[in-house]
Chains A and B, each alone.
Chain A
Amino acid sequence: MKKTILVCCGPGCIAHKSLDVAASFQEQIASLNMDIAVETIIKQTGCHGLCSQGPLIRIMPDDISYYRVRPKDTEEILRSLDKAPVERLLYRDTTGANIKSQHRNPFYAPQQKLALRNVGEIDPQNIDDYKARGGYAALSKALTMAPGDIITEVEKSGLRGRGGAGFPTGLKWRIAAGYNNFPKYIILNGDEGDPGAFMDRSIMEGDPHGVLEGMIICALAIGATEGYLYIRDEYALSLKIMKQALADAENAGILGDSILGSTQSLHLNLVRGGGAFVCGETTAMIESIEGSIGEPRAAFVYPTEQGLWNQPTVINNVETFINIPLIIRDGGNRFTQTGTAKSKGTKVFSLAGKVHHSGLVEVPMGTPLRKIIFDIGGGVLGKHQFKAVQTGGPSGGSLPESLLDVPVDFDTLLDHGSMMGSGGMIVMDERTCMVELARYNVEFLAAESCGACVPCREGLRALLSILTRISAGKGELKDLEIIKNICEVLTHTSRCGLGKTAANPVLSTMKYFFEEYEEHITHKQCRANVCKMPDTGGAKNKKNNRMENGTKSNRMENGAKSSMENKNSTDTMNSTNTTNSDMGVAQCK
């Protein structure tokens, strides 16, 4: 009997020494060779998902998942292969029962893996492994289709770009295909720069050929013969695996002068990003590939018409491309069966922060936040209270508990002042200060602003200085009005998405956590004890506040006091607002 041991070698598990585990398996197999009855293959795969419990391994075909495996456990695991599983390494649920199969683990059970269909299942550095799971079959099918029909399927699927903006992919391709101007280019956006996001790297590192297959199908559809993979330089592993995949695909006759023996050709080049967040923006990325600094172009002409070297260009995100082979293989209609009315398919999130199970999660569009955070994520770490979840990275927004039942899709998140972004999801408990979080996000965006347009460069700088002042307990009520004005200018007049969305972290925290701004300004208090306040000592007394003064009665007293004061100050402000309609404070509430 043959067994396969899948050892997760995603970044989380590697940090937990999963490479040592894989090596130990190999050593043990060599030394136990005569001794064990089953033939065993070790595969180093991409991310299995539940990174916080790594290193993870999975034994197939029995579907046994082990967690927190150490090199010293490998012999016992090998010896158990034809016997009962090693109980102590299984997942234990809240009732104390051991769970053998991944599908019954509460982290995995509600998930639906479309984009991640191969991630964690195959050896990413082995093209035959990909083919054995039906890889490149969609490409063969696409080669028999007319380019227009490929695009029709993508249009039917309702697939929207997974990079954040949610532009319909089929429409983008249709526009680019419509220009009779050659050569045309395709670009893979693998410059995952948002803090808190690791979906794209997990896909590139776990299923590189799936990404390539999606790209090649796109090239066939729009008539591109050359393309680029733009990947962050920080992602050494992604670069290594994609480079290997490119070479393997060329050797297998899948890429190059003749795609699978057809008359179509496609050449792909790898470009390492330079560590600039703004290069995730389409036109900035084009500038960067051309060998310039990554300043976005003014959006009068779209890249689909004049992109790379002013030729028609399609740029799609990693997760967008990985969905393409599925759509072509099963047809666009099948894809629409998952998701909501306007957002089809699934979305991969990287769930992190103060949550019990952090890792890579894929759920149908429309899944409520509560299900993702509490069912899949297992709720907030320790005995702490949920406070907020930030979606969409630093340019997304933070949503409070009252919005946890909102279905997650492109449009509902926008309606509530946040956005899908590329899929980072950070859970926060009561120990995070929302004012400081806004300041932190703005600090990041101000540092990453390329400086080409004034609203973004100067607006973010001004916002940062005001938020820094407020979080140091030196804010004034009129600051809130100024913030609102700056945010409006930023949103409407910035050149690219970085500036246009930069107000989200500020406006959303002002909308949902206004009382914290108020406390910082009026009472010089930070309820999370994060900000250093001039009078009370704030973070300086952090330990004392939490451990000694933080007794129940004391806290309640403080809480009651500040909420009473809040009420008073709100009343005052409301009355001010009636006399000065431009005040803006009450509107923010």
Chain B
Amino acid sequence: MILSQEKLLGLLQKYPPEKQHTLAVFQDIQQECGYLPKEHIIEAAQYLKTPLSQAYAMATFYRSFSLTPRGKYVIKVCDGTACHIKNIHEMRDTLARILDIDAGNTDKDGLFTLETVSCLGACSIAPVMQINDEYFGSLTVEKIYDILAKFYEVESYEKERSEV
């Protein structure tokens, strides 16, 4: 999703036009769009009086930014040490198999993006993953199926409703 000129300007003008706000501006854009569209990086750089090369460096250096559109649900699979030794790779592989994508990609419907992150900071309930803002802890392969099934159920329900 790309923001209207008006909305983007509103978002930019929350911050003074200084380089130091690049991170914050990008985070806001990412929150709105789900990723950093190229057009917005260019406009943000102009607004923040930052060379485009440096703005692009920011967008690619920091892990939380994506340059490609992401799904409606972003699944962050934790690969912290506690999750790692509790076989999180089995859950990740299961997710990848169900969604038919590798980590770092979005499924063909644009519904789910699968990511691995270095640590979600919820190690005591490892293995753990996060879907948008919700944590799912003490995962097992079976639980993965249940959790995804619920999301698919909600989606098909909403789709039906919108068609009606």
> Residues on A close to B: CB < 8 A?
11-12, 14-16, 51-52, 54, 192-198, 201, 232-236, 271-272, 274-277, 288-294, 350-354, 358-360, 390, 393-394, 424, 426, 428, 431-432, 437, 440-441, 444, 447-448, 450
Contact A440 to B81, CB < 8 A, known contacts A193-B119, A194-B119: yes
Is residue B128 within 8 Å, beta carbon to beta carbon, of the partner chain?
Answer: yes
Contact A16 to B125, CB < 8 A, known contacts A289-B20, A354-B85: yes
Interface centre among B54, B82, B120 (most CB of A within 10 A): B82
A288: chain B residues within 8 A (beta carbon): 23
- Min CB distance B114 to A, Å, is 16
A194: chain B residues within 8 A (beta carbon): 119
* A15 partner, pick from B24, B54, B135, beta carbons under 8 A: B135
Interface centre among B20, B23, B86, B123 (most CB of A within 10 A): B123
> What separation, in Å, do the CA atoms of A194 and B24 have in the docked complex?
22
Decide if B61 touches A276 in the complex (CB within 8 Å): yes
- Min CB distance A313 to B, Å, is 14
Decide if A350 touches B137 in the complex (CB within 8 Å): no
Residue of A with least CB distance to B62: A274
A198: chain B residues within 8 A (beta carbon): 121-124
Decide if B19 touches A275 in the complex (CB within 8 Å): no
Decide if A353 touches B61 in the complex (CB within 8 Å): no
Decide if B27 touches A195 in the complex (CB within 8 Å): no
Interface size class of B (residues with CB under 8 A): 35 or more
Contact A16 to B123, CB < 8 A, known contacts A193-B118, A274-B65, A293-B61: no
- Min CB distance B152 to A, Å, is 21
* B20 partner, pick from A272, A291, A351, A448, beta carbons under 8 A: A291
With A294-B61, A358-B126 known, 9 other A-B pairs at CB within 8 A are A15-B125, A233-B64, A271-B23, A290-B20, A353-B86, A354-B85, A358-B82, A359-B124, A437-B81
Is residue B40 within 8 Å, beta carbon to beta carbon, of the partner chain?
Answer: no
B125: chain A residues within 8 A (beta carbon): 12, 15-16, 51-52, 54
B82: chain A residues within 8 A (beta carbon): 195-196, 352-353, 358, 426
Decide if B137 touches A16 in the complex (CB within 8 Å): yes
> Residues on B close to A: CB < 8 A?
18-24, 26-27, 48, 50, 54, 57-58, 61-65, 79-82, 84-86, 117-126, 128, 133, 135-137
B57: chain A residues within 8 A (beta carbon): 293
> What separation, in Å, do the CA atoms of A353 and B79 have in the docked complex?
13
A394: chain B residues within 8 A (beta carbon): 81
* A276 partner, pick from B21, B63, B124, beta carbons under 8 A: B63
Decide if B137 touches A12 in the complex (CB within 8 Å): yes
Decide if A196 touches B80 in the complex (CB within 8 Å): yes
Decide if B62 touches A291 in the complex (CB within 8 Å): no
- Min CB distance A527 to B, Å, is 15
* A12 partner, pick from B20, B22, B86, B122, beta carbons under 8 A: B122
> What separation, in Å, do the CA atoms of A233 and B120 have in the docked complex?
11
Decide if A291 touches B22 in the complex (CB within 8 Å): yes
B136: chain A residues within 8 A (beta carbon): 15
Decide if A15 touches B19 in the complex (CB within 8 Å): no
Decide if A352 touches B24 in the complex (CB within 8 Å): no
Decide if A274 touches B81 in the complex (CB within 8 Å): no
B54: chain A residues within 8 A (beta carbon): 292
> What separation, in Å, do the CA atoms of A11 and B128 have in the docked complex?
11
Query: Can you show 11 pairs from A to B with CB atoms below 8 A apart?
Result: A195-B82, A195-B123, A196-B81, A275-B62, A276-B61, A276-B62, A288-B23, A291-B48, A424-B81, A444-B79, A450-B61
Complex A-B, nearest 5 residue pairs according to Cβ-Cβ distance, in ascending order? A274-B62, A195-B80, A51-B124, A352-B123, A275-B64
> What separation, in Å, do the CA atoms of A324 and B50 have in the docked complex?
39
Contact A432 to B85, CB < 8 A, known contacts A16-B137, A233-B64, A352-B124: yes
Decide if A15 touches B118 in the complex (CB within 8 Å): no
Decide if B123 touches A196 in the complex (CB within 8 Å): yes
Decide if A15 touches B122 in the complex (CB within 8 Å): yes
- Min CB distance A149 to B, Å, is 34
Contact A353 to B85, CB < 8 A, known contacts A12-B137, A293-B57: yes
Interface centre among A234, A235, A291 (most CB of B within 10 A): A291
